[in-house]
Amino acid sequence: MPVDHTKNIIEVRDLSFAYGQTPVLKNITLTVHQGDYLGIIGPNGSGKTTLLKVMLGLLTPTSGTVKLFGADCLGFKDWSKIGYVPQKAINFDPLFPATVREVVAMGRFGKKGLLFRLTDEDQAVVRQSLEQVEMLEYQDRQIGDLSSGQQQRVFIARALAGQPEVIFLDEPTVGVDVKAQEQFYALLKRLNQELGLTLVMVSHDIDVIAHEVTELACVNQTLVYHGEPEEFVKGDYLQKLYGKNIRQILHDH
């Protein structure tokens, strides 16, 4: 897929969001271009996950707009262009009776429309998606029996099975051990660079994410920083965001 870095995939304009009377996001404006690998970071309670959910139309903004592929996200119809990997650790039921293949097949459902059954062609896409994340040999295993890192790769495969143009990931490495995290980030980098997939990832893991992404947005109610990760690390944004001794904390890792 030829990547056009000037094409706008997501346009967030003057976005504010509040839960009841409690403001969570204020006046956020940012644009994601095709082929971007955007990391959204911020402290706990900064509204970064809320921002992702508003972008996906799961929450309705109090004011401002979100456009996906040029269309307002509240009336957006073309959901098959979008893949979503939710916060696994919280949402996932390990006893759910499903094989890896069944989980990945769910990624095809949005494309099929109601009342249509999956065809051999769909099954081929499911296989291919599992191959891309190197999980094909696990296709008949129970999803609950896999390790966290493997489960997370299966959820990526599910997003890939929908053949999206952009994938949103919400804290995908929570509960995943360090070695599996490295493999996971390598996989994301490959998807971004080789397949030209646009990625939007929310994370609290500033140190790691700053080395992986091509664009960084730092949120704490307002958009504190948006630009290249290198500039962010050089500047004193971290102190603004987390208080004084954050550099010390990062170096101690």
Partner 1 sequence: MLSIFEYSFIVRGLEAGLLIGAIAPLIGIFLVLRRYSLIADTLAHVSLAGVAIGLLLKVNPLFTAILASAASSVAIERLRASKKIYGESALSIFLSGSLALAIVLIGLAHGFNVDLFSYLFGSIVTVRPADIYIILGLGAVIGITILAFYKELVYISFDEDAAKVSGIPVKLFNTVFILLAASAIAISIPIIGILLISALLVLPVVAALQLKKSFKATLLWAEVISLSSVLAGVVASFYLDVSSGGAIVLIMLAVFGAILLAKSRAKK
Point out which residues bind partner 1 (CB under 8 A): 53, 56-58, 77, 79-80, 82, 84-86, 91-93, 95-99, 102-103, 106-107, 109-110, 112, 114-115, 117-118, 142, 145, 158, 162, 168
CB-based contacts of 171, cutoff 8 Å, min separation 6: 49, 87, 89, 202, 203, 204
Nearest CA to 170 out of 53, 23, 11 is that of 53
Residue 141 or 204 with smaller CB distance to partner 1: 141
Residue 86 or 229 with smaller CB distance to partner 1: 86
Least Å from the CB of residue 161 to partner 1: 10
Least Å from the CB of residue 84 to partner 1: 4
Least Å from the CB of residue 69 to partner 1: 14
Least Å from the CB of residue 70 to partner 1: 17
Residue 62 or 142 with smaller CB distance to partner 1: 142
Token pair in block for residue 47: 């509204």
Residue 57 or 196 with smaller CB distance to partner 1: 57
Burial group, residue 67, by CB count within 10 angstroms (0-12, 13-18, 19+): middle
> SS3 for 18?
strand
Ramachandran area for residue 113 (φ above 0: left; ψ -120 to 50: alpha; else beta) = left
